[in-house]
Amino acid sequence: MYNNGKTRQLRANNGWKKKARGSSRFGGKRGFSGDSINVNRFINKAEPIKPAEVFKPQYSFDDLEIDYKLKQAIKSRGFVDPTPIQEKAIPVVLAGKDVIGLANTGTGKTAAFLIPLLNKILNNPQEKVLIVVPVRELAIQIQEEFRALAQKMGIYSVVVVGGANIHGQVRELRRRHNLVIGTPGRLKDLISRKTLDLSKFNNVVLDEADRMLDMGFINDVKQLLALLKKERQTMLFSATFSREIEKLVKDFLKNPERISLKTRETSNQIDQDIIRIKNEDKIEVLYKLLIQTQFEKVLVFSRTKHGADKLSKKLQQKGLKSDAIHGNKPHNKRQRVLQNFKRNSIDILVATDVAARGLDIPNVSHVINFDIPATYDDYVHRIGRTGRADKAGIALTFVG
């Protein structure tokens, strides 16, 4: 059943093309220009990490000209050497330049902007940083990384995302803080309530910029950027790039330094293959995979929210520890499910694209595309939930 490389020769799956065209949600608007996905793109052998090819950074964190306290925090966080994107981006951000950072998923983009920005704040407590992200879980995750790095520094951050009680966020915004991390809708809401004044913000990070545009946040993002201080540093990070982003860059970034570390479209630590479903029951095929011991911690992608719930329930009925995460679930419930998966109280998380974007979940062994992704970019982001940091990962895509 597990593909052994033979399917490499197979042609594009036309059945998929028809299905994609027929559904308005997956129309050209989402940036996928009508070509069908060639399933061969879902097959990529992982490249074994050879000792000779292991990335050797030009400097260690200790060599950086950053605050001693920050160096200590990086050390206690367990980071010794910068990742390639960090190596390139940190000095540029420290120098105060605008940055566009393009690097594969799981390569440490978060710390690439948090470390130099924290240093800026340590040097000048007046610095204000806005971080705009597409989904609330990502905001919380960035805050967690921030808190780990800013320990005992007396520097505070506020997360403002939809789905959570706004009054608590209003209260937090009244207290001293240097960082606001939020999703476009809630940020706008708080601005219109006059609780948040962006005119003092002189640093902005757009994380997962491509997804923000995919989700239709382009105008919101533009409005937010227009409200910021004119003299500011602007940073844009993403794992994929598009023409729309180029437009945004042209309008809102000043002489940005472009850092691109993508050698291929997906991380070479992810072993990618397809599984052909002929006349079998898809759920049975999935079940037979999930009960194998090497499928330790599995993220399964479903196309719809309803499908995610249904699939997770079916797996539970079969005795597996599974749960679902998608946009229809209340915020606190999503957060709880995610924590359960992170802490291994469940082994299988069934998710929709939006719910899983950008999430850093340690040690996901497999990503399974139970439903084929709508676009290749979605594919890249889905499978990017595995093979993170120094770990290897496996991505399997069910094709009809």
Binding residues for ligand ADP (CB under 6 A): 79, 82-83, 86, 103, 105-111, 360, 388-389
Name the packing angle between helices 331-342 and 136-149 (round to 10°): 60
List the x/- string, 187-226, binding to Mg ion by CB under 5 A.
----------------------------------------
Name the residue nearer to Mg ion (CB basis): 40 or 242.
242
Residues 37, 40, 41, 46: what is their CA dihedral angle, to the nearest 10 degrees? 160
Stretch 339-398 residues interacting with Mg ion (CB under 5 A): 358
The one of Mg ion, ligand ADP, none whose footprint includes residue 388, by CB under 5 to 8 A per kind, is ligand ADP
Nearer to ligand ADP, 16 or 79 (CB): 79
Nearer to ligand ADP (CB atom), residue 57 or residue 185 = 57
Q: Between 120 and 342, name the residue whose CB sits nearer to ligand ADP.
A: 342
Under DSSP, the state recorded for 397 is E
Inter-axis angle of helices 305-317 and 282-290, to 10 degrees? 60
Q: How near is the Cβ of 306 to ligand ADP at its closest, in Å? A: 28
Which of ligand ADP, Mg ion, none lies near 182, with the C-beta cut-off 5 to 8 A by kind?
A: none
Q: Least CB distance from residue 338 to Mg ion, whole Å?
A: 15
Residue given tokens 């802490």 in the structure block: 343
109: contact with Mg ion by CB under 5 A: yes
Residue 305 binds to Mg ion (criterion: CB under 5 A) = no
User: Judged by CB under 5 A, does residue 186 bind Mg ion?
Assistant: no
C-beta of 134 vs 309, nearer to Mg ion: 134
Asked if 334 touches Mg ion (CB under 5 A), the answer is no
In the list Mg ion, ligand ADP, none, the entry touching 291 (Cβ below 5 to 8 angstroms by class) is: none
For the bound state, the minimum distance from the C-beta of residue 340 to Mg ion, rounded and expressed in Å, comes to 22
CB of 351 to Mg ion, least distance (A): 16
Please say whether the beta carbons of 325 and 334 come within 8 A: yes
**CB of residue 181 to Mg ion, shortest distance in Å:** 12
CB of 139 to ligand ADP, least distance (A): 13
Length of the chain: 400
- Please answer whether residues 376 and 32 qualify as being in contact, where contact means their C-beta atoms are separated by less than 8 angstroms: yes
Comparing CA positions, the residue from 156, 194, 151 lying closest to residue 172 is 156
Of 316 and 365, the one with the shorter C-beta distance to ligand ADP is 365
Strand order in the sheet with 179-182: 157-160, 179-182, 129-132, 203-207, 233-238, 99-102, 257-260
Return the SS3 of 200.
helix
Q: Say how far residue 323 (Cα) sits from the centre of its chain.
A: 20
Residue 337 Cβ vs ligand ADP, minimum distance, rounded to whole Å: 19
Residue 205: CB minimum distance to ligand ADP, A: 11
Q: Whose Cβ is closer to ligand ADP: residue 112's or residue 121's?
A: 112
Applying CB under 5 A, the span of 109-117, 225-233, 274-282, 299-307 interacting with Mg ion comes to 109-117
Would you give the distance in Å from CA 162 to the centre of its chain?
A: 18
| Residue 289 contacts residue 295 (beta carbons within 8 Å) | yes
- Token pair, residue 393, equals 């990962």
b/e per residue 43-60 (b: at least 16 CB within 10 A): bbebeeeeeeeeeeeeee
Inter-residue contact 367 to 19 (CB < 8 Å): no
- The residues of the shown chain that bind Mg ion, judged by CB under 5 A, are 109, 358
